[in-house]
Structure 1
Amino acid sequence: MTVNTSTIFTGSAGAGSQSEIIKHTFTGGDNPRSVYIQAGLHADEHPGMLVIQHLLKELEVIDRACGINGTITLIPFANPVGMMQNVLGFWTGRFNLANGENFNRNFPDLAEELEALHSNTEWVELSPALQLDSLLMPKAHEDVVSAGKRALLREAVKHDIILDLHCDTAAILHFYTNERYRERAINLAAALGIEAVLLESFAGGGAFDEACTKGWQWLADKGLEPAERIPFSVSVELRGQADVSDELAADDARRILSYLCAEGFINTEIPVTQPLHRDRIDTFPLEGAVHLPSPANGLVVWKKQLGDWVKKGECLGEIASLDGKACGQRVPVYSPVDGRILVQPLTAMVRIGQRVALIAGKELQQDRKKGKLLLNF
């Protein structure tokens, strides 16, 4: 029975400023499997950070009762650089202000690196786990954000289950994962009370959840590791940015713990959290998700709300125009698909082209291509 707290130094964020990632690891029992949970990769998304605080408190109690079976690693905030980006009182932790890059894009592509290095016989003699670890060793003169990504990935790829806690602007609970794990995804959704699951085979963009699997996928494709070793890696959207409360976080934490109990990581009794009936869970192809752009500048007034099912051509709301002679006129916003509204803006003021809704549909959209499914907003 062990609880270990450590820090991962990722470099200097500027003169007089150092960047560290805090890691809490609980170990116990004889279960060889491990789970990794992080929050705050987008540092302006705070619900997951509070969930981690509740998980820490609960796991400390479980650990004292010798209830940990396996390894559970928690990263309370995964992006210390983003945590420092406050502009005039507003947290701007989604994009790196140094270059505009989304913090959850362009993680190292371990499949490409393995492909390039596997002609080296000395390299092939290393175990797959050591190969991945070696590729993710710190690099000299690497900027602090890149070093942080490398450090997070180096830690996460060791694990069997990876939960990356996010949120959207205003949203219902949903999550993203690979279609290879459809059944496991439904089990997780039932435990967490999530009705909408988006599945993909290759999203592209170098997001963290997919980066965690690409090296193992390459090894499995080459017959060097069983496919079962590919981590079950999930990006969980814990509602919207404003949904930060002890009540929500405590329930989310209990649901995560009940899932870990079902997966064999906890062997003490967890307060019962009613799982969602599997019949209420819908899976959607990520190629069927539509990021609906605003047709006008103005104030969006909704007729349909988060979680509503809508039909193609149905009016979702109106934009109260603020432009010139059109000021005061209403511009309707129509759904381009049959589907469910997962996301809306947090604020009512929108501009032309800005996303005003994420609608998950069942039918593949012609303009949605594998490898180019993640937008950079």
Structure 2
Amino acid sequence: MSVTTTSIFSGAAGTGNRSEIIKHVFTGGDSERAVYIQAGLHADEHPGLLVIQHLLPLLEKADSEGGINGTITLIPYANPTGMTQNVLGFWTGRFNLANGENFNRNFPDAADALEQLHAAQDMRHIRPEEQLDRVLAPATHDDFVNAWKKALLREAVRHDVILDLHCDTAGILHFYTNERYTERAASLAASMGIEAVLLESFAGGGAFDEACTLGWKWLAERGMASAGRIPFSVSVELRGQADVSDELAATDAGRIMNYLRTEGFITTGTPASDPLSGDAVQLYPLEGAIHMPSPADGIVVWQKRPGDHVKKEELLGEIVCLEAGISGKRTPVYSPVDGRILVQPLMTLVRTGQRVALIAGMEPLPERKKGRLLMNF
């Protein structure tokens, strides 16, 4: 058994501005399987940062008891750039202030890089892990953000299970993953008490969780790796930005530990019963999830909240116009689908066209296209 703390990335974002990404690694037993858990890729999403801090002593205890079986890697904060972006007291860690790019988009496409590598030379005799390591190695011309993105991806793809901890603005527990792992998704959801799971075949946009799978998928399709080696990669939304407390973090960390026991990564401790039965987990197609735009400017007053099941044309709330004088003009907000509200904005002042709800439905929507399923807000 062993615990190590090292840096996977260190670099300068400019003169006098050096940052690093650290990892804590627990190893033990005879299993070759590995799990990777990171938080703070969107550096303004803080529930996962605290969950990692609750996970560490639980894993230290399991390690002291000889209960680690395999490799467990924790990245306590994944975005050194976003961790510095505090503007007038507000964390702006979702977007890179240098260019406006969402930090969880445009991760390197390992499949494309492998395609180019194999076109240049015969690589079939090289182990798949080494091929991925080679195409995700940093280049001298990489800027700071692209360099640490490569470092994260290069580290993560060595693992079999990848949990990327996020949150939304205001919402319920839910997560995103690929439909190839429907059964494993149901198991994770039951372990973590997550009732809503969004499944996609190809979301597009270069988000971290999907980027972790593309290189392995390319290798598997060409017979250089087994299909089972494609990582079970998940983006977990730990409720909303305001849902940060020791009580919630301890609960989530304990449920992650229970999941790790289910997966065989931890062999000590008393397995807790899942907070949900498998029947309580609802699997939704990502093509059926609608990011609902606001129909007006003003203050939104909700009648329905995240977690509520709604019917098409059901009243969700009203937007109070602030320029209507004494008339008290209000614009109703109706659900465009049958489904479940997963997310609403944390702030109640909204503008026309802004997302005011994420509603998951069971029926794919014609305007939701494979490869263009992620929004950039």
TM, length-normalised to structure 1 = 0.98
Aligned twin of 2:78: 78
Aligned twin of 2:219: 219
CA contact (8 A) 2:261 2:271 kept: no
SS of the residue 1:80 aligns to = coil
Inter-partner Cα distance in structure 1 for 2:138 and 2:193:
38
Inter-partner Cα distance in structure 2 for 1:164 and 1:82:
16
Counterpart code for 1:363: E
Counterpart code for 2:77: F
Counterpart code for 1:25: V
Q: 1:108 offset after TM fit, Å?
A: 0.4
Aligned twin of 2:305: 305
1:34-45, aligned counterparts within 5 Å?
34-45=34-45
Q: 1:327 offset after TM fit, Å?
A: 6.6
CA contact (8 A) 1:19 1:144 kept: no
1:1-377, aligned counterparts within 5 Å?
1-270=1-270, 272-324=272-324, 328-377=328-377
CA contact (8 A) 1:297 1:323 kept: no
Counterpart code for 1:224: M
Inter-partner Cα distance in structure 2 for 1:362 and 1:84:
40
CA contact (8 A) 1:216 1:225 kept: yes
Counterpart code for 1:258: N
CA contact (8 A) 1:257 1:270 kept: no
TM-superposition CA deviations, 1:223-244 (whole Å, max 9, x none) = 2111000000000000000000
- What is the percentage of aligned positions where both structures have the same residue? 70
SS of the residue 2:247 aligns to = helix
Moved over 3 A (4+): 323-327
Counterpart code for 1:94: R
Inter-partner Cα distance in structure 1 for 2:271 and 2:117:
48
CA contact (8 A) 2:34 2:70 kept: yes
CA contact (8 A) 2:124 2:224 kept: no
Inter-partner Cα distance in structure 2 for 1:188 and 1:108:
27
CA contact (8 A) 1:10 1:151 kept: no
Inter-partner Cα distance in structure 1 for 2:326 and 2:234:
44
User: CA 1:155 to 1:327, structure 2 compared with 1: closer, same or farther past 3 Å?
Assistant: farther
Inter-partner Cα distance in structure 2 for 1:173 and 1:141:
39
Q: 1:11 offset after TM fit, Å?
A: 1.7
Inter-partner Cα distance in structure 1 for 2:305 and 2:44:
23
Structure 2 spans left out of the alignment, 5+ residues: none
Counterpart code for 1:278: G
For the aligned residue pairs, the C-alpha RMSD in angstroms reads 1.2
TM, length-normalised to structure 2 = 0.98
SS of the residue 2:114 aligns to = helix
SS of the residue 1:124 aligns to = coil
Inter-partner Cα distance in structure 2 for 1:14 and 1:327:
54
Deviates more, 1:326-335 or 1:199-208: 326-335
TM-superposition CA deviations, 1:7-47 (whole Å, max 9, x none) = 12342112101120010000000011000000000000000
CA contact (8 A) 1:11 1:143 kept: no
CA contact (8 A) 1:6 1:22 kept: yes
